[in-house]
Amino acid sequence: MVTHISHNPDDTEALGEAWGRAAQKGLVLALSGDLGAGKTQLVRGLARGLGSPARVHSPTFSLVNIYSGGRLTLFHLDLYRLETSDQIASAGLEEYLTPDGITAIEWAERWFGSPFAQVPVAIGSPTGPLNQINFFRWARLTTVSETERRIDYEDTGA
């Protein structure tokens, strides 16, 4: 596991930008953290690193925002309004686990459980075979102070 200390929102966005520059097709980024911890800020940087000109905002009410125009398409999910894995399955979000681009999922613990407890490499679909996740990154953002965030992350997969 890697730990990054962000001293302000620009630092958080810069980390996301670095991830976006290095990202390869198929990445699923699972984000966990309290309200205001910086999950959307990290996704803004991710989009910028992908070269997307889009104005990134959290898809709390729409569940998914799709940002194209960059090197890879970014699928941005927000599971805040969904409380159970059954609700997530009913929403038909499994397709975003094998993206033709990159998927970033806010409130991912609602789908996958506690961060880092079991990092999924394959997720069962109630309607079909296993969806193989090529590359998976858990990131947990923790508020340290008004401006500082601790970002712990771990990768698994190809």
Which domains occur in the chain, in start order?
8-148 (3.40.50.300)
Q: Which of 52, 114, 104, 110 is nearest to 75 (CA)?
A: 104
pLDDT at 116 over 80: no
Confidence band (pLDDT; 50, 70, 90) for 157? low
* Under 8 Å between Cβ of 31 and 20: no
120, two tokens? 């999924």
How far is Cα 83 from Cα 16, in angstroms, rounded to an integer? 26
pLDDT at 59 over 70: yes
How far is Cα 157 from Cα 131, in angstroms, rounded to an integer? 13
Between vectors from CA 34 to CA 28 and to CA 35, what angle results, nearest 5°? 100
Q: Express each pLDDT in 17-44 by its tens digit.
A: 999 999 999 999 999 999 999 999 999 9
127, two tokens? 């309607």
Confidence band (pLDDT; 50, 70, 90) for 126? very low
